[in-house]
Every structure is written in structure tokens, then in C-alpha cells.
Chains A and B, each alone.
Chain A
């Protein structure tokens, strides 16, 4: 079983739709959870980061962490064509500042938002 599972898609939605992206994980020691967006031929761009369980909202983006189910989600409201990219979940055991801060990534979900 992989440490982090993420459906690769592709996921295609119409402009304005609500998008739900998810990851599951097996290591209960993960405490820090991040979502990155990666455009083609570019590096991952940090979108959201959270510690432990709960919700966090930033503009059109909401990140949710359910540690009891080992499940994290990213919601995108009012999706735009510019949101078309690959979305990567990432998590780590230690804090960002700790020696266990190296990130474990999902394979990424490719999202396409059609005008």
C-alpha cells in the first residue's frame, strides 16, 4: 500500500463548478498537510497548508483534514479555466522545521476547467 494515494484523473469540469480533490494516506504519524498546484513544465506552487485535523479557507480554496479517516480534501469554488493544472497533495511527519519535514507526495490529479 502506498503511503499517499491520489486519483490521477483526469478530472474535467465546466467553468463555475465546485471541484473536490482528495487524498488518502496510511501513515497515522503524518501531521502536516499541504496542497500544491503544478502547471505544465513548472514547479509546484504552494496553495494551502494545515496542521492536524480541521478546515482552512483561503479565497476560493478550502482544505479539510480528517485524521481519523486519514483523508484530506481540497475544494475549489467557482472554478476558472486558469485553475486547470495538476494538484498535488503532500504531507510530512515532522514540522516544517524538523528533520522529518521532507514531504511525501501523492501522484497528483490533473484538472481541466472548460470555459
Chain B
């Protein structure tokens, strides 16, 4: 039973480019969360999605960041016009109803 799958594991972008991070939840899970982990910081909630709906995006910056979880396919976290401060590890978690969240191994984004 595959866990939460994130790709790519490592992503390098130059300032001003776009970054797309993908997350396939565990089989049967319809709830997806994105978190960001900055160096020496704890994980910070960004956004919570269910299929085709954004439920809570209170932790996501208003500019340049967007997320989606389409009916078919993985959830996508998109960062436009990346800046150095976007360098971090981005983790996706999924769960089924009334169960705790399970995490993927993250995407490490580096901005040159």
C-alpha cells in the first residue's frame, strides 16, 4: 500500500521561474494538506484541500502561491516568480475521514 508520493524530491529553480510540486495522496484519501518547513523552523500549515475544493488556505501567501486538487490526478502546489525566500522543504499530507494525517517525504526546493 503506497504511501503519500511527492515529486520531484528535489527541485532547483532560478529567481523568477515557476515551481510546480506534485502530491499523490494515499489510496482512498480525499483530504490533502500542504506544509512548508524552513531551515531551523517547524512545519507550517499552508493549505487544506479536498477533491476539487480548497477548504482552508489561511496559511498560504496571498501572492504567487496557488494549490489545486483536481478530480483526477495529483494535488499541485504552484509557486510563480520564485524568490530566494521560497527555498524550503514542502510536505504534503493526506488522510481519510476522521484519521490522522500521513506525510510524504517532501520536495526540497532550492532557488538560485
Contacts and interface: CB of A to CB of B under 8 A. Distances in A.
Please indicate whether A and B come from the same complex rather than being unrelated chains. yes
Q: Is the interface of A mostly helix, strand, loop or mixed?
A: loop
Contact of B103 (A43, A97, A99, A107): A43
Interface string B71-110: 0000000000000000000010101011111111110100
B106 A107 contact: no
A88 B44 CA distance: 12
Contacts, number: 66
Q: Is the interface of B mostly helix, strand, loop or mixed?
A: strand
Interface residues of A, number: 25
A42 B42 contact: no
The interface size bin for chain B is 20 to 34
B56 A43 contact: no
Contacts of B56: 99, 102
Interface of B: 4, 6, 31, 33, 35, 40-45, 48, 55-56, 59, 91, 93, 95, 97-106, 108
Interface of A: 4, 6, 34, 36, 41-46, 49, 88, 90, 95-97, 99, 101-108
